[in-house]
A and B are shown apart, each in its own frame.
Chain A
Amino acid sequence: MSKETVIQLKDVTFSYYVEDAEGNVTTNNDVDVKHSEKRMALDGVTLDIEKGSFVAIVGSNGSGKSTLAKHLNALLLPSSGEVLVCGMSTADPDSTWEIRRRCGMVFQNPDNQLVSSVVEDDVAFGPENLGVDPAEIRQRVDNALNAVGMYEFRKKGPHLLSGGQKQRIAIAGVLAMQPECIVFDEPTAMLDPSGRAEILKIIRGLHEEGKTVILITHFMEEAAQADRIIVMDKGRPILDETPAALFAHAGKLQELNLQMPFGASMAAKLRDLGVDLPEGIITAERLAECLCR
C-alpha cells in the first residue's frame, strides 16, 4: 500500500434501535428516531480513507450520511464492525479523546457549535480543554483565525456575525485542535450562495495544505470539487468514484434522487441534441470553454 490510511471502516453496522433479550426496544444513544425506522442506519460499510484525500459523501435524506460521519470521531459507536481512526478503534474508551482531537467535526448549524461570547475565546475552547500551554493557545488561535480569514473579528461577539462568518469560526475552533482530518457535515446547508462559496474555498484550502477532508453535502457542485465521491443509499455506499466518472451515470443518479451539477447536466442535454463534447465536463465554465473552441 503506497498511501497511508487515516480512517478505516470494517463492515460497520449501526441501528438507532436496540432490542434487548426480552424484545424490549430502546433507542441507542438517546437519539429521537421514528418507530418505523427500525432498520439499520448503517448496513455493512467498509471503507478506507487515505491521508490527505478530499472525499465527498452524498445521498438523499435518511441514507445514512450523517450517521456515518458521527462514527468517524466516536460520537456514535458501531453496533457491529469496527472504525479505526489513525489506527485507534473508536470502541476503545481510552482512545476517544485522542480520536476527537485528530478527527475534528463541523456541523450544519453554526449556532449550535459556538460556546463563547467572544470569537477568540470560542476558538481557544478546544485547546484549553486539552490543557495546552497558554502561549501556545494564543499562537494556535491566531493561526486558526488567520486560516479562515477572521482574525480581525477576534474580539467580536459571534452573535453579531453572519452565518458564513460563524461557520468560519466553528472551523477555526476545529483547526485550533490541530486535527489531521476534518469531517464537514453539511456545513453550507444554512448559508446563502456567497457564504457557501466562502466555506468551500476554505475547505479546498485545507485540503491543499494536506489535511484529510470529508465533506457531506446535498450540493453536487460542492461534491464535484472532491477527489472522490461516495454515494450512500439505505445505509450502504453504493457508488464510490471520481466526480467525472460518477456524473457519467446520469440515469442512476436520478433514480437515487440526486442532482447532477448544472454543467454536467447541461453537457448531457447538449450531447443528446448532437453536440460533440468531451467526457468529464462538470462545471459551467468548462462547458463554455468546450463549446467555444
Chain B
Amino acid sequence: MQIEVRELGYTYSEGLPFATTALEDVNFTIPGGEFAAIIGHTGSGKSTLLMHLNGLMKPTKGCVLADGIDINEKTKEAREARRKIGLVFQYPEYQLFEETVLKDVCFAPKNYGFTPEECEEKAIAALKLVGIDPDAKRDVSPFELSGGEKRRVAIAGVLAMEPQVLILDEPTAGLDPKGHRDILNMVEQIRRDRNLTILLVSHNMDDAARMADRVLVLDKGHLAMNGTPREVFSHHKELHEIGLSAPSSSELLYLLKEKGLNVRTDIFDEDEAAREIVNALK
C-alpha cells in the first residue's frame, strides 16, 4: 500500500492564543513495499505526523492518501484503508491489558467484527510472525513475559489486523543491544514475509542507514530532506545544524577528511569504513 502525504499541515489549538504549528506543508510519497526511516529532533513533529498517517489526528490542512484514498473521508473505503495502516507506539507493551496473550492479540480483530475462529487464526499467525511460540504462550498472562517478549506481543496485536503498512515509533527504546538487534531483525523478517510498507521512527542513524530505502528528515514541522540514505547523509553539515548526525562510520570518515586524510565519506558500514581507512593510509 502506497502512502502519500500532500501539503499536510497541523496546528494545535488553532485560532487560540497558544496556537502552535506542529506540521507545515509536508509532502512525500512512500511507494508500497518501501522501507522509510523518519528522523528528527524531539519536537520536530514526528509523533504528530505518525498520528496523521492512520487517522488518529485529522490534518488542519492537506491530506493523507492510502493507495489514492483520502483516509479521513467518511466512507467505507476510507475506514477500510485506515484499518490497513498499523501503528505501533513507543513502549507498546504498556498497552497490554488482557488476561492472556492470545486474548490480547485478538482484541483488534474482535473489535472489527471477525468471528472468534478468524480472530484466533489471525492472532496465532501474528504471534508466529513476531517470534512468539503460540502453543507455549497463548494462555500465559502478558504481564508474566519478559520486557522483550511483551513488546513482541504488543506488536503482534497490531499485526493481527493484517495491516499493509506498519508504522513503528522507536520500537527499540529501552532495550539492550541484543534486544535492539532482535526487534529490528524481526521487523525486516515481517516486511519480507508480508511485503509491508514500513515507516520506522528512529534516533539511531546507523539503523536508518542500514535498513531504510528512504530517509525522511523532519525539522520544526517541515520536511527538511527526503532521499536515499546516501543522499540524505551526504548533507552532513545541514544535519548537524538541525541537531542530527550521520551514521557513526560516516561521522568518523568526515572527521578524518577534515584532518586531511583522503577518504570517501558515504560509507555506513563499519567493516567497509575500516577498509577505506586502511586504503587511504597506504
- Tell me the A residues contacting B by CB distance below 8 Å: 32, 34-36, 60-62, 108, 162-164, 186, 189-195, 218, 257-259, 262-263, 265-266, 269-270, 273-275, 284-285, 287-289, 291-292
**Which chain B residues lie closer than 8 Å to A108 at the CB level?**
174
CA distance A189 to B176 in the complex (A): 10
With A162-B42, A259-B177, A262-B248 as known contacts, state yes or no: A34 contacts B145, CB within 8 Å.
yes
- Which listed residue, A34, A60, A274, A291, touches B178 by the CB 8 Å rule? A60
With A270-B274, A288-B252 as known contacts, state yes or no: A60 contacts B144, CB within 8 Å.
no
- B115 CB within 8 Å of chain A: no
Q: In the complex, are the beta carbons of B146 and A61 less than 8 A apart? A: yes
- B186 CB within 8 Å of chain A: no
- Which listed residue, A35, A164, A265, touches B144 by the CB 8 Å rule? A35
Residue in chain B with minimal CB distance to A108: B174
Number of A-B contacts (CB under 8 A): 95
- B251 CB within 8 Å of chain A: yes
- B273 CB within 8 Å of chain A: yes
CA distance A186 to B173 in the complex (A): 11
Q: In the complex, are the beta carbons of B261 and A291 less than 8 A apart? A: yes
Q: In the complex, are the beta carbons of B148 and A61 less than 8 A apart? A: yes
The interface residues of chain B, by DSSP majority, are classed as: helix
Q: In the complex, are the beta carbons of A190 and B278 less than 8 A apart? A: no
Residue in chain B with minimal CB distance to A186: B174
**Which chain A residues lie closer than 8 Å to B243 at the CB level?**
193-194
Residue in chain B with minimal CB distance to A195: B42
Interface 1/0 per residue, B151-178 and A, CB below 8 Å: 0000000000000000000000111111
Residue in chain A with minimal CB distance to B148: A61
Q: How large is the interface on B (under 10, 10 to 19, 20 to 34, 35 or more residues)?
A: 35 or more
Q: In the complex, are the beta carbons of A284 and B248 less than 8 A apart? A: yes
Nearest Cβ distance between residue A167 and chain B, in whole angstroms?
11
Q: In the complex, are the beta carbons of A194 and B41 less than 8 A apart? A: yes
Q: In the complex, are the beta carbons of A61 and B176 less than 8 A apart? A: yes
- B107 CB within 8 Å of chain A: no
**Which chain B residues lie closer than 8 Å to A32 at the CB level?**
143
Nearest Cβ distance between residue B75 and chain A, in whole angstroms?
36
With A32-B143, A35-B144, A186-B174 as known contacts, state yes or no: A61 contacts B179, CB within 8 Å.
yes
CA distance A266 to B261 in the complex (A): 17
Nearest Cβ distance between residue A287 and chain B, in whole angstroms?
7
Q: In the complex, are the beta carbons of A189 and B143 less than 8 A apart? A: no
- Which listed residue, B173, B248, B278, touches A273 by the CB 8 Å rule? B278
Q: Which of A270, A274, A288 has the most CB of B within 10 A?
A: A288
**Which chain B residues lie closer than 8 Å to A289 at the CB level?**
259
- B203 CB within 8 Å of chain A: yes
Residue in chain A with minimal CB distance to B43: A162
Nearest Cβ distance between residue A188 and chain B, in whole angstroms?
10
Q: In the complex, are the beta carbons of B42 and A34 less than 8 A apart? A: no
CA distance A164 to B260 in the complex (A): 36
- Which listed residue, A191, A269, A291, A292, touches B42 by the CB 8 Å rule? A191
**Which chain B residues lie closer than 8 Å to A273 at the CB level?**
274-275, 278
**Which chain A residues lie closer than 8 Å to B248 at the CB level?**
262, 266, 284
- B255 CB within 8 Å of chain A: yes
Nearest Cβ distance between residue B259 and chain A, in whole angstroms?
4
Q: In the complex, are the beta carbons of A163 and B144 less than 8 A apart? A: no
5 more A-B contacts (CB under 8 A) besides A258-B177, A270-B277?
A190-B174, A192-B41, A263-B252, A266-B273, A269-B271
Q: In the complex, are the beta carbons of B274 and A284 less than 8 A apart? A: no
